[in-house]
Amino acid sequence: MCHIRPFVVLALGCALCAPLLAADKPATDKHEDKSAASAAVKARKVETTGSVSIEGAKLDYKAVAGTILLTGKDEDKNDPTASIFYVAYFKSGVDSARRPLTFLYNGGPGSSTVWLHMGAFGPKRVVTLDDQHTPAAPYQFINNDYSLLDASDLVFIDAPGTGFSRLLVNEKDKAKRAAAMKERGKEFYGVDQDAQAFAQFITKFLTEYGRWNSPKYLFGESYGTTRSAVLANVLETEQNVDLNGVMLLSQILSFANDIDAPQYDPGVDQPYALALPTYAATAWYHHKLPNQPAQLEPFLHEVEQFAMTDYTTALAAGSTLDPQRRKAVIAKLHDYTGLPESYIDKANLRVFGGEFEKTLQDSADLTTGRLDTRFSGPSMDPLEQQSAYDPQSAAISSAYVSMFNDYARRTLKFGEGMTFREFGDVYPWDWKHRPPGLPPGFFPSSTNVMSDLATAMKYNPQLHVLLAGGYYDLATPYFAAEFEMHHLPIPQQLQGNIEYAFFHSGHMVYAHQESLKKLHDVAAAFIGRTDNLGK
């Protein structure tokens, strides 16, 4: 789940879920002030039981809501640096050694995992409207017919500083504690630091619950896919934890492909080509195309071909593009996006994400969604150049956050006296990432973790990858994700370890019920094929 379009951070390296407005920074209450000193903190664990009906079959489970304490490099000092909140679901009445185990997390960076937990694979889910603003409370909270608990035990993890996860410092003085917390943040708030924290959490969890010999999976969404690539490499090459599979939902591995702010990186035109199929799908959904095709997928294949050939060539030509050729490309872009030819011409063939969202339905004074372009909402300012907010985020966030706050305390019996942080204050985020094999002192110009996933797959040639995405996702366009997979630096035979699934939904694929069912079935089948339990 992504929150606010992060204009400032995007110029440096695309934060998918950065809450940059002052009003979005989480408040610290008196209970959390007391828990900030690490010496007073202990791991907590609350167990409850429940049942869920998954596609008609009843399943009993044990739920554990708790925390695991992370430590610095010197574990003997017993000085915890963070308390990481998780909710684990274990199928009852079975041998845990014969059960797959999946670790799930959202992205941001800075997002809690409320979205995957409450919308996708937990035993209960929030009901929201398909492509419109969900009415205010009371919200619907129902049995999740498509929980992934039938295929795997599940562990939902809140990243440090989000949800009920907290950084810890051993400092009681209030003024000094603020400075200490800022320094502590540097240990967690960055691409590599974050992955190391998750690796430590996972290995501690495996030990605490005796699950070292279980088939193991990672499931990340949005920036969570970035995390998964780095984390998979850390687990495989540093912790000797072979993974059975990595599931990537709404993927972004190379931030040079981001369509939110490519205008700040002139000369790098690839994002425009990779986002074009999503523009086309969106225009198709809203009936803005001059000639509306009957079926979406064949139309997208046509657009993908144009994007990688004529459009890419035209962009690469820059100012040398022949005027007649330019005119033909503009006409084709109009056919595929519904945007006026004069607008495309004025944009120099390069319309970035926020401009498209604001312009597509401008005649109706509507802004198109970013996370899910099926959504629309009133434009904040009809004269603005680009969208000022995301209609989908506005449409569903209250339902998710409200229901998790209620569920955590009433059902899981956790969180009394604590503030749940939908988004954590994790900025400034350290985007510097050293890919495997890069000499010291060098960093790529933008964050790219493709080499990490590639190294993990080469280190463990039995590692399988599932890429899933929505056609209407403009935060992480599906075609860009597919492009990244086809350009991983791996032997050709390892490409056979990658599976693909695309849906008629957006960034949060599961927000569309038909897509949720398909996502469940695809993920469950992926686990069934790769868990090695039948071998």
Question: So what's the pLDDT on residue 496?
Answer: 98
pLDDT for 474? 98
Cis peptide before 109 (omega within 30 of 0): yes
Q: Looking at the predicted structure, is the pLDDT value of residue 522 above 90?
A: yes
Strands (DSSP E) along 251-375, which ranges?
366-368
Average pLDDT over residues 364-388: 95
**Is the pLDDT at 2 greater than 70, yes or no?**
no
pLDDT tens for each residue of 72-110: 876 666 789 999 999 999 999 999 988 999 999 999 999
Q: What is the pLDDT of residue 10?
A: 33
Label residue 235 by pLDDT band (50, 70, 90): very high
Where residue 220 falls (left for φ over 0; alpha for ψ -120 to 50; beta otherwise) is beta
How far, in Å, CA of 275 to CA of 265, rounded? Answer: 16
Q: What is the pLDDT of residue 22?
A: 28
The candidate with the shortest Cα–Cα distance to 248, out of 236, 234, 231, is 231
Question: Is a pLDDT exceeding 60 seen at residue 9?
Answer: no
pLDDT, position 72: 83
Whether 169 shows a pLDDT value over 80: the answer reads yes
The whole-number average pLDDT for the span 173-189 is: 91
Phi and psi based region of residue 161 (left: phi greater than 0; alpha: psi -120 to 50; beta: remaining) = left
Mean pLDDT over 408-427 rounds to 96
pLDDT at residue 363 greater than cutoff 80: yes
Task: Specify the 3-state DSSP secondary structure of 16.
Answer: coil
Alpha helices in 89-155 (DSSP H): 114-115
User: What is the Cα–Cα distance from 61 to 345, expressed in whole angstroms?
Assistant: 58
Q: Which residues pair with 167 in a beta bridge?
A: 82
pLDDT band of 19, cuts 50, 70, 90: very low
Q: What is the mean pLDDT of residues 407-413?
A: 97
Query: What token pair was written down for 226?
Result: 């970035």
Paired tokens of 78: 């017993």
End-to-end Cα spacing for the chain: 37
| Mean predicted lDDT score pLDDT of the chain | 91
Confidence category of residue 213, pLDDT binned at 50, 70, 90: very high
Give the chain's domains with CATH numbers.
7-69+80-89+100-256+396-530 (3.40.50.1820), 263-392 (no CATH)
Task: Summarize the confidence of residues 454-465 as an average pLDDT.
Answer: 98
Q: What share of the chain is helix, strand, coil (3-state, %, to 5)?
A: 40, 20, 40
Query: Residue 98: what pLDDT?
Result: 87
CA 16, CA 224: separation in Å to the nearest integer?
10
Q: What is the pLDDT of residue 345?
A: 98
Q: Work out the average pLDDT over 220-239.
A: 98
Instruction: Specify the pLDDT at position 36.
Output: 52
pLDDT recorded at residue 95: 92
> What pLDDT shows up at residue 298?
98
pLDDT in the model for residue 442: 66
Quickly state the pLDDT bin for 8 (edges 50, 70, 90).
very low
173-177: average pLDDT: 86
Confidence check: pLDDT of 414 > 60: yes
How confident is the model at residue 26, as a pLDDT?
Answer: 37
Q: Are the CB atoms for 108 and 223 separated by under 8 Å?
A: yes
Is the pLDDT score of 34 beyond 50?
A: no
How much is the average pLDDT of 40-49? 90
Task: Please give the share of the chain, as a percent, with pLDDT higher than 70.
Answer: 91
Which residues share a beta bridge with 122? none
The conformational region for residue 72 under phi > 0 = left, psi -120 to 50 = alpha, else beta, is beta
pLDDT at 40: 60
Decide if pLDDT at 25 tops 70.
no
Q: Quick one: pLDDT at residue 28?
A: 40
The secondary structure element, H or E, covering residue 57 is: strand 57-71
CA distances from 415 to 65, 114, 407 (A): 9, 14, 10
Residue type, 148: L
**Cα 393 from chain centre:** 14
pLDDT of 351 over the 70 cut: yes
* pLDDT tier, 15 (very low <50, low <70, confident <90, very high otherwise): very low
Q: Residue 95 phi/psi, 5° resolution?
A: -75, 115
